[in-house]
Structure 1
């Protein structure tokens, strides 16, 4: 195959200049080239000339598709795909270094260096597995090690496309890769991510023990493959007599013949390696060895009853995220609140008029950054009151389960401020530690001041809690000033817009390693979503956060941001994966439990949500955790308990506004319209979310004030034009006004908006829209699905009554209507036409007639 093929057409002319050949593999030839446009060296991979054909081309295209999805520092990156009609080429990152096979031959590496490489491979492999991609040809030749010691996995997709029989009949291919195959892959059985773990075990065995786990000798490929499937691997202790028990146990589990006996995920392997790296090979106590082994060993099944009990235990512990081995490593959790910054004197900065709020925002950002430098610590959201003293605020924090408060006091004279930082024990209101130092307010010095404040704040905490200090990530002065203005806007929740996200995206492109910009992006996105219900904001945010992986940004901060965004969606597996990673980093359990409770609530798993919320509230009796208890009680129509919980919450935290919104929802369902309106309107207008406004619209709707209800809904739609719930409520209003054409217009909009959105609430709105548009078969099927998924949810029953009534299934409609009435739902809710149809049917029970049809 000649290299001229790359330069035959105008598409390639002038962009990639081929300079030589780097090597050849099983399917491709790799060339060294220069990207003339960007001035960088690249590797260009073309299909071998002797492998022409649709099958080979399809495999090559598959590799391109897979690499395009894999953006990670431990995976070789794909830059471009070149096609000239007859030939395809992949333009890839040029890795300056050697293969892991060559690295093992050339380096007398320490155990620490070897563990570090294996952990890097785990990170790259974990990224692939998280996207459902299995490598299937993981071997030392397919791992590159840069001159700086960075491991990068390559050759994704090719082995995935080959079946085992073809591999075993090609001696040249087997000789290079059968060593890496798992027993199930050799046998042609279905494989999953655990197949890659076997291959990883083979690599780890050779890297750590300087010996391959299976001796090939003079065996032919087929005989060697038979050995992998039926013969045990060489005991690690035989290859390396001094191997720590922990590493031997890890290798034994990875090289197990049966997939179910291997670790569940590459994340578990990473954490076991990390534990060995932290404690060293000398920490070979029985407890330590049992800890790593516990991470890898699965309980033996003893029948369905025991399996069911284990599943229940796993669920109670948060789907396996609270592993026993972590408890002896974890520091006591810290829950930290930031008190309002105290600034006295006159402050100025060159070229800036309104410097005080910007400098205050900078100091608050610096304190926030400091909490990210601490282990086993979580920052607690705290909205300070302007009407009470600092001492009174600290007293209130104590009742919220907060352990530490951070206070910054500044005394300024023009461009110079003396800052005093205090860490306060909230339980006894005593200053634990304090430090003073000068900072400059001049715009050219502000970023340096922020970095200094961050590191000094982290130093207020015990050394055991401190991570390595972060390096300063400077922005251009203009960008930083704009960023501070956005932080000030965010702290006041001041009408954040998608333009603010556009600005942050520009900052991220300019400063990809600045953790602050990612964290702020997630906060702004969550605020916009809560105000508008625009789910596209969440999708774009996850993309932005994923792009930061491997960029050198703080991993825990990114995980926190991802968790917050994921909690609004329906990706349970992704959400639990992030929870697991945070827990492995020693993140406080109460925070984990609360996030899991909120996620369960959003997925309609209210009994689980209530259980987790109660555990979180017991550990930390914060208003948020107490609120989570209440909304899960409300969702299962336990009105008395929910009301009691919310009333206690309002008494203790009178400015926790979500509680008033939930209380309004309870009174609405019970028909106490006046009380509902009082609870909702207690919330200041400027901080009412779209959900709160929606409930206010429902108040007017139930009062028969349809024009006022319409006005509220239209106001919400101005800021959130694709809001499914509000679009549906608009249709209901027009239905009650007798404008069927307009109602159908909005019902059709609901159908369009819910085509690709599978959340619980959207199923309910879609089912009702289908029913009112006359598509009874589809609406009944969806209602039945809802009843299977969340049978106790009030709105599920409310949806089912209308769907069955419009379908003419009167007995089913009557059955669920009786349930709604018996749990206390007010007759005011049943004025829609679908409910009125029930009153005229002979199947309607006397209880329904007496309550609703008088």
Structure 2
């Protein structure tokens, strides 16, 4: 693209500096006005433009038609030059040289609205201020009889001071006086920004059957076409999406012609009703249905903006607190991190989590059996446990208050009357109601961040089983606040004490103290009232954090009572089953705005999916999301929920799309890093997962992020760093189940069978989960304890009867024990359950099943598919060695053995009978000799003879 004008380096007294842009009708150059010493933009209209659009039907010569176009262009430029308005680019001069028209305009150094939207997060009132300025500019143009005809974000400039300018009237239509001319507007405009009547002229044949303008309607393009385009711009700016969005520009144009418009209230349900009505009018399919005055549209936008601004000002009012707490309150709000001056050794270790920046250079890359990302089923708790849907596109942006990360401890309850104590069932319902109310209110308040129940539960007890100190809990979770609730109850009422604790500095010693406290009595029979009262008092202990994301809708009392019962059963007692799902569905049918019930349904369904591997549960969870009200459906947490469901189904593109939606809706940086890392971990982009978890630790030091960092290192094959981080975690929380489980997995991968078996046996005694039972059976098999392995494999399948990995391991043990007739249908079942999934673990167990069934071609095909999707992993190398060994391809098998060993696999994994054929291979014997394990093949030789 040349920076030299076709007219040379000068045009009259304008010095051409460089080319700024080039379009279908001409070029725009940056120039210097050497008379007035100012920077200008010069737009040239191509001479070819006239000949390209020659006289229709040959009614006149091309020369005559060119002359007419030039004359009309000059007339248009002269009219535009008369437009002296703050929201329209100013034309300074018009020149004509050698038949070429040049418009000299003010130079705008800002950004187009299109780029501005991508780089700025604006409140609703700020967006409306932009739209109002566009509308003012249109009103001025329309008053002069000028219709823009190509109004779109790229033709609107916003300068550094926030001023808005409409540019590029190059194809404008003139309707002033007795003349009506147009620079072929319908040909050069952007189809995705056009009105139906414009598109009707562009695509008359292709859309003959479309729902276009009525035959009785005047198809003349007038100012109402610009208003339609303004409606598209406004809708896009406010909601972040095109109102007629299709999969392509052509499809979007078709949707405009067919009046397939999304409704503003469905996309952004919190919009003022007046704004929704105005947007719908602007986007009316028939011109007669749109506003009949540009001035009226401008007035409407100004009034809505003014009203909204007043609301935002009122929302900034804060509730004062007592003088006794004011000094401590100010100090607490400025304390971003806990000091370690009075913490124990374990707490000091936890506080070092943020500085854990272990590098991953030059590490061996591997991926053992892909353990389910620990929070894939339970990290939903941030949103799923509380379930309030939030639309958070900063519609009402709060003041710049520091984010508060909040731990909610379980309520403590005592009997105030020994003769009339509260019943156990009532006790459970009251505590469940309070817990739900507090968590919902926290997540529904801007600036407050809820730390999940699972994360808190893992650190609330010390190594002796006693309740951990507040400082220890805060250090392990990165909490800035802790909420406690004490209840003194009889069989009629409870006296509730709600306390907000935070760290304060007194004489250079940090300690946790009560910052704010509320007390009130509650009758125990009306649980929904308890919920509402609790939320109102919780708002009182966070007076500066008073902006809510969503106004809750009322629900029926009996529905909330049943919900509280289920909430206690699922989340507080750990129960989940099909009956719970059915009851929750009944609640949602009766009270669709009980947002917590949607969350509880999803949590139960996803938990069942992970336990059983039955996809129907994930599909039920997705169905529930689709049936939720708009307030919840278009919230940030809906996107997060969809993310976890998609990740569980290994639908990585959909998970990434939902993550992007969550980012657009205002997800905070800490949560973004965690979700991004989870996606990268499951999609085998492990180095990036490590980096993101390290970054997340700097924002919020917590044992959860430390565990996930260790898991990332483990999957990456860097067992050294994985164990290093787990050691830090277990020094802080010696009883942590997940950390012990992962450490056992590392020992198993390394072939440290004695340590692995001891840890799995200890874990199962405390918490017998299907996954750990299965791993213990695998460890037994590697140790040659095949009968013990069979017992564990059968128990794992009994616990998870449709889980392909459990079934595959059972089939392997039966095959090793010579039970071929029993193993064959199990391998066939593995393939039947797995053929639609594409994650690494599934592909590898399918490949292994195929080779044991004698389907060698399919085994190689599936193995190659795994290699293509997940290259250079130790797990792939191990299964490849197994398959090649079974197929007699010893050279390839030994090469894969070496890759698996270099990726961290212990040599003990090659004790399995599948690798017996390699004992005759010299290179395999050398590998064994180097490792001092030559007896492996000697035993095999003796058994064969």
Q: 1:571 aligns with which of 631, 651, 657?
A: 651
> What secondary structure, in the 3-state scheme, does the structure 1 residue paired with 2:815 have?
helix
Question: 2:178 maps to what in 1?
Answer: none
Structure of greater Rg:
2
Q: 2:679 aligns with which of 583, 599, 602?
A: 599
Deviation at 1:472, TM superposition (A): 5.6
Summarize the Cα distance change of 1:675–1:195 in structure 2 as closer, same or farther, 3 Å threshold: farther
The 5 Å alignment of 1:518-597 reads 518-550=598-630, 555-597=635-677
Deviation at 1:726, TM superposition (A): 0.2
Task: Confirm or deny that 1:364 pairs with 2:440.
Answer: no
The 5 Å alignment of 1:315-330 reads none
Deviation at 1:197, TM superposition (A): 9.9
Summarize the Cα distance change of 1:459–1:555 in structure 2 as closer, same or farther, 3 Å threshold: farther
Deviation at 1:664, TM superposition (A): 0.5
> What secondary structure, in the 3-state scheme, does the structure 2 residue paired with 1:567 have?
helix
> What secondary structure, in the 3-state scheme, does the structure 1 residue paired with 2:849 have?
helix
The 5 Å alignment of 1:447-466 reads 447-464=528-545, 466=547
Q: 1:742 aligns with which of 818, 822, 825?
A: 822
Summarize the Cα distance change of 1:834–1:464 in structure 2 as closer, same or farther, 3 Å threshold: same
Summarize the Cα distance change of 1:511–1:721 in structure 2 as closer, same or farther, 3 Å threshold: same
CA contact (8 A) 1:556 1:582 kept: yes
Q: 1:795 aligns with which of 862, 866, 875?
A: 875
Question: 1:636 maps to what in 2?
Answer: 716
CA distance in 1 between counterparts of 2:488 and 2:608 reads 35
CA contact (8 A) 1:420 1:437 kept: yes
Question: 1:655 maps to what in 2?
Answer: 735
Question: 2:793 maps to what in 1?
Answer: 713
**Residue-by-residue CA offset, 1:362-418 (whole Å, 9 max, x unaligned):** 211111111122124332122143977777134322332112211111122331211
The CA RMSD measured in Å over matched residues stands at: 4.8
> What secondary structure, in the 3-state scheme, does the structure 1 residue paired with 2:836 have?
coil
CA contact (8 A) 1:605 1:790 kept: no
Q: TM-score, normalised by structure 1?
A: 0.63
CA contact (8 A) 2:878 2:897 kept: yes
CA contact (8 A) 1:636 1:794 kept: no
Task: Confirm or deny that 1:689 pairs with 2:769.
Answer: yes
The 5 Å alignment of 1:23-38 reads none
Q: 2:919 aligns with which of 833, 839, 844?
A: 839
CA contact (8 A) 1:410 1:419 kept: yes
Unaligned runs of 5+ in 1: 1-109, 117-135, 143-158, 183-187, 217-237, 249-273, 284-321
Question: 1:385 maps to what in 2?
Answer: 461
Question: 1:430 maps to what in 2?
Answer: 513
Question: 2:414 maps to what in 1?
Answer: 344
Deviation at 1:508, TM superposition (A): 1.5
CA distance in 2 between counterparts of 1:535 and 1:630 reads 29
Deviation at 1:536, TM superposition (A): 2.6
Deviates more, 1:567-576 or 1:417-426: 567-576
Question: 1:406 maps to what in 2?
Answer: 483
Deviation at 1:516, TM superposition (A): 0.9
Unaligned runs of 5+ in 2: 1-125, 133-190, 233-245, 265-274, 288-292, 314-391, 505-510, 939-945
Deviates more, 1:494-503 or 1:190-199: 190-199
CA distance in 1 between counterparts of 2:867 and 2:210 reads 57
Summarize the Cα distance change of 1:192–1:707 in structure 2 as closer, same or farther, 3 Å threshold: farther
Task: Confirm or deny that 1:699 pairs with 2:769.
Answer: no
Task: Confirm or deny that 1:375 pairs with 2:449.
Answer: no
Deviates more, 1:623-632 or 1:833-842: 833-842
**Residue-by-residue CA offset, 1:472-509 (whole Å, 9 max, x unaligned):** 633453x5444333222223444422222222122122
> What secondary structure, in the 3-state scheme, does the structure 2 residue paired with 1:344 have?
strand
The 5 Å alignment of 1:163-562 reads 166-167=205-206, 173=212, 191=249, 332-346=402-416, 354-381=425-452, 382-383=456-457, 384-385=460-461, 392-426=469-503, 428-442=511-525, 445-464=526-545, 466-467=547-548, 470-471=551-552, 473-477=554-558, 479-550=559-630, 555-562=635-642
CA contact (8 A) 2:192 2:253 kept: no
Summarize the Cα distance change of 1:399–1:853 in structure 2 as closer, same or farther, 3 Å threshold: same
CA distance in 2 between counterparts of 1:341 and 1:609 reads 36
Deviation at 1:671, TM superposition (A): 1.2
CA distance in 1 between counterparts of 2:677 and 2:484 reads 31
CA distance in 2 between counterparts of 1:460 and 1:193 reads 52
Deviation at 1:785, TM superposition (A): 2.3
Deviation at 1:674, TM superposition (A): 1.6
Summarize the Cα distance change of 1:206–1:360 in structure 2 as closer, same or farther, 3 Å threshold: closer
Deviation at 1:629, TM superposition (A): 0.9
Q: 1:732 aligns with which of 799, 803, 812?
A: 812
Deviation at 1:448, TM superposition (A): 0.7
> What secondary structure, in the 3-state scheme, does the structure 2 residue paired with 1:354 have?
helix
Question: 2:803 maps to what in 1?
Answer: 723
Summarize the Cα distance change of 1:388–1:723 in structure 2 as closer, same or farther, 3 Å threshold: closer
Q: 1:766 aligns with which of 828, 831, 846?
A: 846
Structure with greater contact order relative to length (CA < 8 Å, sep ≥ 6)? 2
Deviation at 1:350, TM superposition (A): 11
CA contact (8 A) 1:377 1:588 kept: no
**Residue-by-residue CA offset, 1:111-144 (whole Å, 9 max, x unaligned):** 979989xxxxxxxxxxxxxxxxxxx9999999xx
**Residue-by-residue CA offset, 1:566-604 (whole Å, 9 max, x unaligned):** 332222333233333433444332122112212222222
**Residue-by-residue CA offset, 1:688-746 (whole Å, 9 max, x unaligned):** 43222221221222222223222222223223211011011011101111112222211
CA distance in 2 between counterparts of 1:215 and 1:526 reads 47
Summarize the Cα distance change of 1:441–1:553 in structure 2 as closer, same or farther, 3 Å threshold: farther
Summarize the Cα distance change of 1:172–1:739 in structure 2 as closer, same or farther, 3 Å threshold: closer
> What secondary structure, in the 3-state scheme, does the structure 1 residue paired with 2:461 have?
coil
Deviation at 1:465, TM superposition (A): 5.0
The 5 Å alignment of 1:102-117 reads none
CA distance in 1 between counterparts of 2:435 and 2:411 reads 7
**Residue-by-residue CA offset, 1:153-181 (whole Å, 9 max, x unaligned):** xxxxxx9xxx9674356799477899789
